[in-house]
Amino acid sequence: MTESIADIALNVARLAHAEYADVRVIEMQKESIVVKNGKLESAQRSNSTGFGVRVLIDGSWGFSSSREKSSREAESVAREAVAIGRASRLAQRKKVRLAPSVVVQDRWVTPFLKDPFPVSLDEKLLLLDGAVSRLRSVPGVNIAEGFMNFWKREQQFKSTEGSEIEQSTVFSGAGMSATSIKNGEIQTRSYPNSARGQYQAGGYEVVRSMGLLENAERIASEAVALHSARQCPAGEMDLILDGSQLALQIHESCGHPAELDRALGSEINFAGTSFLTPEKRGNFRYGSEIVNLVADATQHSSPGGLGTFGYDDEGAPAQCVALVRDGIFVGYLSSRETASEIGCRSSGAMRASSWNRIPLVRMTNVSLLPGNSSLEEMIASTDSGILMCTNRSWSIDDRRLHFQFGTEIGWLIKNGKRAEMVKNPTYSGVTSRFWGGCDAIGGQKEWVIWGTPNCGKGQPEQIMHTGHGASPSRFRRVSVGVAYGG
């Protein structure tokens, strides 16, 4: 059925003399479970299926989609995509040209050990109930929550160039949080990460390996203890970030500005542009010499990152692309269209959130490569500084230069030791100056590929899954405590 739909749609595009066309037929499943204060708050499963047709005609894109998978609908949707492409010429500033790409016939599947969807609800609830029960056992905890989410996507891709690709991706994860309320103040601690947990490419084994039960009482105790901690002091000091917070820093201050459509001005209306404009490629110092950042969709170990796949949504193979090498900005996340504008090949970063959305340039696994230090070594070699963990808030301007982040918890460091806990820690900076102050990066043992399942971009908005490998790292002379004073 799906193959005939693709053939019919592509034939319509060829008869209309389209320069290029592709069809994606997709079936998606999602499961979401929330346990709150010992009760099942929600348990949902959803399915979505349909197909999208993208046509390049007279140098302009046309796109249409439908959930009805029939021969008649395939023809109708393809004709509509052609009509939209022709109408788009009215607003055309320049003709779209595609960088060359390889023709592929292949099938790719996420490596995993246990499919999460056949796992019974009872088994999943047993784990979440146990974690929430341990959170609630700590006096002073008012709200205890546990989360699980699973996604599966089956996709068939076919293009007029001859590519035929089947792809199956599976993402899994979970998390928990403890909230304590006292004298009008709210403090929350999350594990393994905020934003409802940690998510990776893989099966139910991702959840089993998290240690939710083992860490519940510690996390809850920290939430309560934050009420008695003093406010994060304000001033300039050395800053150590844990891997989860650094992952978000990478997402906002490297991943988004390295999207080539932003750098070329295509996202101004909704999400802003980028300070990493094309003339900076190869000669702009983004960070210190130990900073190396890559966009790696080929991370196929299990578990992998949320930006791991075999092929992007226009059939380009997954790649590992250098973005920053030895502190110098050297590359972009790109599509065939954007890459052609700077004389390159696509980096394989064209992705769509669903069958009814046109692909956009999106992050894959944008990661800071491991260094040769460790968290304990960084603390021991810091005379006066602060360690911050687990994101609480963030803000960054539309060029991705000026930022401010807050974390759930911090520890002051004095004479090479953790001295005391502090609450409401924040830090701010300017991207290149901040990364220029990076003088220590944790090694492979502490490197984790963190998942961001809620990255928004595009109009209409698309929520995408991205991954970010990071280990604890230190940054010299950073402004901290700016949000609260101290």
Q: Which two tokens stand for residue 252?
A: 């906002």
Question: Has residue 386 been placed in a domain?
Answer: yes
Residues 272 and 418 in one domain: yes
Alpha-carbon distance values, 269 to 233, 275, 459, 460, 464 (Å): 37, 16, 9, 12, 19
Same domain, 200 and 248: no
Burial of 476 (0-12, 13-18, 19+ CB in 10 A): middle
* Model pLDDT for residues 103-130, shown as the tens digit of each residue: 999 999 999 999 999 999 999 999 999 9
Positive or negative, the CA dihedral 405, 406, 409, 415 is positive
Residue 76 has pLDDT above 60, yes or no: yes
Whose CA is closest to 432, among 463, 403, 468?
403
Cis, peptide link before residue 453, omega less than 30° from 0:
no
Q: Is the pLDDT of residue 1 over 60?
A: no
My answer on whether 291 and 159 are in the same domain is no
Give the total number of structural domains in the chain: 2
Same domain, 19 and 144: yes
- The pLDDT tens digits for 131-149 are 999 999 999 999 999 999 9
Q: Is the pLDDT of residue 389 over 50?
A: yes
Please check whether residues 129 and 237 belong to one and the same domain: no
Domain containing 29 equals 2-225
Q: Is 403 left (phi over 0), alpha (psi -120 to 50) or beta?
A: beta
Does residue 485 belong to any structural domain of this protein? no
Q: At what angle do helices 2-15 and 71-87 cross, to 10 degrees?
A: 40
Report whether 158 contacts 186 (CB < 8 A): no
Q: Tokens 């304000």 map to which residue?
A: 234
Q: What is the pLDDT of residues 49-58, one digit of tens each?
A: 999 999 999 9
- Let me know whether 30 and 90 are in one domain: yes
| Mean pLDDT to the nearest integer, 310-318 | 97
Please write the tens of the pLDDT for every residue from 452-468.
999 999 988 999 999 99
pLDDT at 300: 63
